[in-house]
């Protein structure tokens, strides 16, 4: 049986003082879980987060990284700049990046490759919009995101990747996919990976659900056969709520 990977995506929230408060509150609340706990914090909180979580079961992630090691890329952060701080995970291709900052399957792949090269574990996000789902195109979109976004990812590299299935219509809206909707979509995604990498590799792959997951609905979602964890936005900003998600599945 796999454990679950529960990752908080703080997005553009929490300054250093607020981050310290949240992490300090969180540490004792999640210390007994057998699930993997990750917090993906703003760049400016990374140093503090790594320092505060040292010796605890909380892993630290960033929310993006560039595909180049250095150079004239104003405003970007190189993967090795993250590993040098002790950061272990990085969110790649979140729908907010795709929608507001022009990320494409191609840039997602480039960032993922570079992150892996540096020894980071990418949490690669995919998911359909409401329009795509209602238009009957959910499978087509997910299939394209996996096929294009993982184009030259090897089977060995896949072992270090976490996939987050996040239906765009459920992110930050308070509308969660039902347990079955989330499970079915993830089963479909796993099938696409299985076609390329084989069943064993696809079964071993961690695929999280994300989109308004919280302390109330986590137990149901995490009990589903295909759901290997969660990527949690809003509810990760309150220690008790995030801890309840972490502890919702034993």
HSE (side-chain half, CA atoms, 13 Å) at 126: 31
Partnered with residue 122 across adjacent β-strands are 90
Q: Per the annotation, does 93 bind a ligand?
A: no
Phi, psi of 116 (to 5 degrees): -60, -45
CB of 150 to ligand PGA, least distance (A): 19
Site string for ligand PGA, 153-192 (x = CB under 6 A): -------------x----xx--------------------
Distance CA 88, CA 48 (A): 14
Q: Which of residues 42-101 bind ligand PGA (CB under 6 A)?
A: none
Is the distance from CB of 195 to CB of 159 less than 8 angstroms?
no
Q: Which residues of 24-57 are buried (b: 16+ CB within 10 A; e: fewer)?
A: eebbebbeebebbbbbbbbeebbebbbebbeeee
The smaller minimum CB distance to ligand PGA, of residues 61 and 79, is found at: 61
Return the closest-CA partner of residue 91 out of 170, 162, 182, 171. Answer: 162
Which region, judged by CB under 6 A, interacts with ligand PGA, from 68-76, 108-116, 131-139, 208-216?
208-216
Q: Is 231 in the site for ligand PGA (CB under 6 A)?
A: yes
The smaller minimum CB distance to ligand PGA, of residues 78 and 183, is found at: 183
Residue nearest to ligand PGA (CB): 233
Q: Per the annotation, does 234 bind a ligand?
A: yes
Binding site for ligand PGA (CB under 6 A): 9, 166, 171-172, 210-213, 231-235
Binding-site residues for substrate, in ranges, read 9-11, 172, 212, 233-234
């Amino acid at each position: 049986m796999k454990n679950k990977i529960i990752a908080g995506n703080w997005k553009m929230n929490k300054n250093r003082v607020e981050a310290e408060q949240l992490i300090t509150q969180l540490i004792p609340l999640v210390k007994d879980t057998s699930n993997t706990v990750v917090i993906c914090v703003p760049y400016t909180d990374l140093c503090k987060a790594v320092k505060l979580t040292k010796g605890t079961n909380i892993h630290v992630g960033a929310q993006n990284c560039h595909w180049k090691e250095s150079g004239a890329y104003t405003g970007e952060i190189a993967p090795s700049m993250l590993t040098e701080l002790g950061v272990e995970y990085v969110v790649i291709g979140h729908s907010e990046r795709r929608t507001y900052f022009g990320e494409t399957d191609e840039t997602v792949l480039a960032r993922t490759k570079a992150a892996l090269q540096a020894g980071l574990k990418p949490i690669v996000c995919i998911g359909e919009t409401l329009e795509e789902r209602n238009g009957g195109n959910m499978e087509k979109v997910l299939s394209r995101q996996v096929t294009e976004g993982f184009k030259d990812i090897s089977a060995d590299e896949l072992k270090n990747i976490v996939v987050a299935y996040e239906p765009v219509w459920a992110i930050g809206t308070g509308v969660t996919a039902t347990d079955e909707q989330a499970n079915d979509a993830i089963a479909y995604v796993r099938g696409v990976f299985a076609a390329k990498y084989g069943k064993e590799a696809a079964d071993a792959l961690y695929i999280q659900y994300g989109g308004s997951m919280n302390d109330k609905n986590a137990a149901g979602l995490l009990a589903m056969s295909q759901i290997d964890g969660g990527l949690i936005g809003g509810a990760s900003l309150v220690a008790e709520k995030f801890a309840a998600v972490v502890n919702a599945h034993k």
